[in-house]
Amino acid sequence: MGKRRHLSIFIIDEEGHRRTIFLKGWQIGFAKFMLSLLILMFMVGVVYAILAAATTRRVMQLEMENRKLKQQLMVLDSIRKEVEEFRRFKEQLYGMLGVEESATMNEEYSPISGTFMEDLVEQIDTPYGLPVSGVLTRFHGNGHIGVDLALKTGSPVFATARGVVTTVDSNAQFGLHVWISHAKGYRTLYAHLSRVIVSKGDSVRRGQVVGYSGSSGESTGPHVHYEVWKGNVALNPLKFVE
């Protein structure tokens, strides 16, 4: 029979006494197994930590991309709303002009007086219609110049005629406001805005967004204050809607 494998461990204390520990073969094998198991667990832990760190970085990256996508969707939704508002404004304009939309590109159209292009320029260069689709809460007269149109904050405000921006300012009365000068001595005011996207000296066209509604200045709620002037005379804006 072969000799059984064992391991002898000698321990000598400070006084020189020797103590011998005998480890049998199965004990050595068990120790090797436990050591291998500990090494394997350590390696698994390292791999798990690496994967967890990579997953965390990926999750953070996806969250950033998700936030960017949400911001882009908000911008697209805002643009969609502006386009829809402009489409409604354009339909209102064509209705007030009494022409078909397809006829706007036909220079041969002739109403009763003047050519189509002469009438169209007259309507584009002078105020016509209202700058927003809102609820009339205050009318012109009885010490109040212009009209107030209530609507939600952040709604686009459109220029009612082609012209040049003469004033972009903010004060206690009108808050953030814009003045636009038009043909034939007309001027229009758009007040209590939350944001303005034009600058002094800019040329604007009818239906162009000049700012967004708000409640700045002397205001009890979100609305747009709109005035029409010719020279030094304040006119009733509703006369330009009929």
Residues 6+ apart with CB under 8 A from 43: none
| Residue 99 belongs to a domain | no
Same domain, 115 and 165: yes
Q: Give yes or no for a contact between 18 and 12, defined as CB atoms under 8 angstroms apart.
A: yes
Identify the pLDDT of residue 8: 67
| Residue 86 belongs to a domain | no
**Separation of alpha carbons 232 and 111, rounded Å:** 32
Identify the pLDDT of residue 241: 83
Same domain, 121 and 40: no
| Residue 79 belongs to a domain | no
Identify the pLDDT of residue 13: 67
Identify the pLDDT of residue 5: 61
CATH number at residue 110: 2.70.70.10
Reported pTM: 0.52
Domain region containing 169: 104-240
Residues 6+ apart with CB under 8 A from 96: 123, 128, 129, 241
What are 56's strand-pairing partners? none
pLDDT per residue over 33-82, tens digit each? 888 888 888 888 888 888 888 888 888 888 888 888 888 888 777 777 77
| Residue 41 belongs to a domain | yes
Q: Give yes or no for a contact between 100 and 94, defined as CB atoms under 8 angstroms apart.
A: yes
| Residue 89 belongs to a domain | no
3-state secondary structure 32-69: HHHHHHHHHHHHHHHHHHHHHHHHHHHHHHHHHHHHHH
Identify the pLDDT of residue 123: 54
| Residue 185 belongs to a domain | yes
Same domain, 124 and 202: yes
CB burial of 141-156 (b: ≥16 within 10 Å; e: otherwise) equals eeeeebbbbbbeeebb
Same domain, 54 and 170: no
Same domain, 230 and 131: yes
| Residue 113 belongs to a domain | yes
| Residue 78 belongs to a domain | no
**Separation of alpha carbons 29 and 27, rounded Å:** 5
Same domain, 109 and 228: yes
3-state secondary structure the chain: CCCCCEEEEEEECCCCCEEEEEEEHHHHHHHHHHHHHHHHHHHHHHHHHHHHHHHHHHHHHHHHHHHHHHHHHHHHHHHHHHHHHHHHHHHHHHHHHCCCHHHHHCCCCCCCCCCHHHHHHHHHHCCCCCCCCCEEEECCECCECCEEEECCCCCEEECCCCEEEEEEEEECCCEEEEEEECHHHEEEEEEEEEEECCCCCCEECCCCEEEEEECCCCCCCCEEEEEEEECCEEECHHHHCC
Same domain, 142 and 39: no
In the chain (242 residues long), the average pLDDT of successive 10-residue segments reads: 60 69 69 84 87 86 85 79 74 57 38 42 75 91 92 94 96 97 96 96 93 95 95 93 72
